[in-house]
């Protein structure tokens, strides 16, 4: 633990179950994990989730990010929420590299970030929330304090 930051699961990320892009000889072709974007929404076929195709493009305190997702009306859908930390971790793919602001992020380019730090709904205690770092692959849980801001990426369970 460093200055109140706590890593959740693994700080280094994992290549486990990330969905390889190359077909394996003798195996059926792989189904693309992300479908879209359509109406600003990307379907994650493996996890059964729908994601906004990009973050909110500005920093929010956690409470503002939570309200942003809960109030979001996109693609005729109204049940958006902040993701749990394990859902964000599931997007991390060390093999992929794309720009996010002035930095680089490791996730599929179907989802665009303007900053690598994204809030989650997961809490460690009443005054802390986890966020995920898509540059380094770490889940961190600092104490919520004024001035601590991150991006919002909204998610919902996919229902056809």
Query: CATH 3.30.379: does it fit domain 34-157?
Result: no
Checking if the pLDDT of 32 tops 50, the result is yes
Checking if the pLDDT of 160 tops 80, the result is no
What's the pLDDT tens digit per position in 45-82? 999 999 999 999 999 999 999 999 999 999 999 999 99
**In the chain, what are the domain boundaries?**
34-157
- Gyration radius of the chain over CA positions: 16
pLDDT of residue 23: 52
Q: Which of 154, 40, 42 is nearest to 108 (CA)?
A: 42
Q: How many CB atoms lie within 10 A of CB 49?
A: 17
In the three-class reduction of DSSP (H, G, I as helix; E, B as strand; rest coil), residue 74 is classed as strand
Q: Which of 51, 17, 44 is nearest to 153 (CA)?
A: 51
Ramachandran assignment for 53, one of left (phi > 0), alpha (psi -120 to 50 degrees), beta (any other): alpha
What's the pLDDT tens digit per position in 78-126? 999 999 999 999 999 999 999 999 999 999 999 999 999 999 999 988 8
């Amino acid at each position: 633990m460093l200055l109140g930051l706590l890593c959740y699961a693994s700080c280094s990320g994992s290549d486990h179950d990330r969905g390889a892009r190359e077909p394996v000889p003798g195996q059926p072709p792989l189904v693309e994990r992300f479908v879209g974007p359509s109406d600003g929404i990307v379907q994650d076929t493996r996890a059964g989730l729908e994601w906004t195709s990009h973050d909110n493009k500005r920093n929010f305190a956690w409470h503002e990010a939570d309200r942003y997702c809960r109030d979001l009306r996109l693609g005729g859908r109204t049940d958006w929420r902040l993701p749990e930390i394990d859902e964000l971790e599931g997007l991390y793919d060390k093999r992929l590299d794309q720009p996010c602001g002035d930095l680089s992020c490791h996730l599929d380019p179907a989802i665009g970030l303007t900053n690598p730090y994204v809030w989650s709904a997961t809490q460690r205690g009443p005054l802390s929330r986890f966020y995920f770092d898509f540059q380094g692959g770490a889940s961190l849980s600092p104490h919520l304090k004024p001035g601590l801001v991150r991006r919002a990426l909204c998610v919902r369970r996919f229902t056809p």
